[in-house]
Homo-oligomer: A and B are copies of this chain.
Amino acid sequence: MSRPGSVQAGFQFSVQASDGNARAGVLRTPRGEIETPCFMPVGTKGTVKGMRPKMLRDMGAGILLANTYHLAMRPGSDVVASLGGLHRFMGWDGPLLTDSGGFQVFSLGSTAKIDDQGVTFRSVYDGAREVFTPERAIQEQQALGADIIMCFDECPPGGANREAVAEAVRRTGLWGERCLAVHHEAAGCGTDGPQMLIGIVQGGVHADLRRESVERMLDLDFPGYAIGGLSVGEERRQMLDVTEDTAKRLPHDRVRYFMGIGDPGGLLEVIRRGVDIFDCVLPTRVARTGSAFVPEGKMNLKNAIHAESREPLDRDCPCTACSSFSRGTLRHLVMQKEILGLELLTEHNLTYLFRLVRGARRAIVENRFAEYARQETASHPW
Contact = CB atoms under 8 A, between A and B. Distances in A.
Contacts of A331: 75
Contact of A51 (B74, B89, B340): B340
A324 interface: yes
A91 interface: yes
How many copies of this chain? Answer: 2
A158 to B, nearest CB: 28
Contacts of A74: 332, 335-336
A188 interface: no
B50 A308 contact: no
Nearest to A325: B91
Interface string A65-107: 0000000001100010011100011110000000000000000
A118 to B, nearest CB: 26
A342 interface: yes
A246 B148 CA distance: 64
A52 B340 contact: yes
A339 B50 contact: yes
Contact of A52 (B79, B82, B308, B320): B320
B310 A84 contact: yes
Interface of A: 45-47, 49-54, 74-75, 79, 82-84, 88-91, 307-308, 310, 320, 324-326, 328-329, 331-333, 335-336, 338-340, 342-344
6 pairs of A and B residues whose beta carbons are closest in the complex: A91-B324, A50-B339, A47-B340, A83-B328, A75-B332, A45-B336
Given A50-B343, A83-B326, 11 more contacts: A45-B332, A45-B338, A47-B340, A50-B339, A52-B344, A54-B324, A82-B328, A83-B310, A89-B329, A90-B329, A91-B325
